[in-house]
Structure 1
Amino acid sequence: MIAVIATVFAALAALLHVYFFVMESVQWMQPRIHRRFGVATPEQAETTRPLAYNQGFYNLFLAIGAIIGLVLLWAGPDGQAVDAAGRALTLFTLGCMVAAALVLLTTGLKYLRAALIQGVLPLIGFVLLLFA
């Protein structure tokens, strides 16, 4: 049962990181998007566009790693979690998501909300998967 709950949190974390990718790499120049990340003007958004584009792809790659890990984890017969590689990949990518949230937090307390949004789902999934 814990493995199923861990999978839900890991999948939600992956979907959230896909959403970050879309905002940062696809929709960055939309004012409501770049303002969400603290970029006030279109000029600043244009200046930071390459950084956001790159960061978005990092988030996408983490999401892909988590999804592949979950697929491997549940690829065993009768839906049993038998693949250690899937568990390792899922834990690694969730750990990277949590670490990225902690790094974000080190840039200032004004990023606490963003760090919590980015880090809570993968942290819960990681802890649960450790005990699954």
Structure 2
Amino acid sequence: MKRISNLLIAFVAIEHILFLIMEMFLWQTPFVIQRFNMTEQIAKDSALLAMNQGLYNGFLAAGLIWSLLIRSYVEQAFKIKLFFLSCVVIAGIFGALTVKISILVIQALPALIGLVVVYLSKPQENYDVVI
């Protein structure tokens, strides 16, 4: 179960690295313009906002990767995994409500599945985690 949870976390982290690349470097390309149903002018006008959003997606990816790397601190890694996956779920829900409903499936659902699997595979040590 732990291996599955780590694979799900890695998947969500890779997704957010791809979001970073798309928003910071590819925002004004025809592929992204079509994908988000924008005009070239809208893409140009929103490029700085997209870059900012891409940076935040990079922070989410970094946190998830960090949670996979601190293996000697099991309790802290568990809490960090829960925190960053929760952030992704909340961001995905907000994105679905404000931008495009498909964000719920693309971003929030993988993180939610990861969150559940991480929680179910929590270490057997005696500490409380409030969700």
> TM-score of the superposition, structure 1-length normalised?
0.86
Identify the residue that residue 86 of structure 2 maps to in structure 1: 95
Equivalent position of 1:79 in the other structure:
none
- Letter of the 2:56 partner, please give it: Y
- Structure 2 residue runs of 5 or longer lacking an equivalent are 122-131
How far apart, in 1, do the equivalents of 2:62 and 2:46 lie? 25
> Counterpart of 1:32?
31
Deviations 1:42-100 (A, max 9, x none): 1111100011000001101000000001111xx23xxxxx5211111111111100000
Alpha-carbon distance, 1:116 to partner: 0.9
CA contact (8 A) 2:89 2:107 kept: yes
TM-score by length of 2: 0.86
Q: Distance in 2 between matches of 1:53 and 1:60?
A: 10
The aligned amino acid for 1:26 is: F
Partner Cα distance (1:62, 1:33) in 2: 21
Matches within 5 A, 1:1-132: 2-39=1-38, 41-72=39-70, 75-76=71-72, 83-107=74-98, 111-132=100-121
**Residue 4 of structure 1, CA deviation:** 1.0
Q: How many residues are treated as equivalent by the alignment?
A: 121
After superposition, the CA RMSD in angstroms is 1.3
CA contact (8 A) 1:98 1:118 kept: yes
* Larger helix fraction of residues: 1
For 1:128, the aligned partner's letter is V
Amino acid of the structure 1 residue aligned with 2:3: V
Partner of 2:128: none
The structural deviation recorded for 1:113 is: 1.4
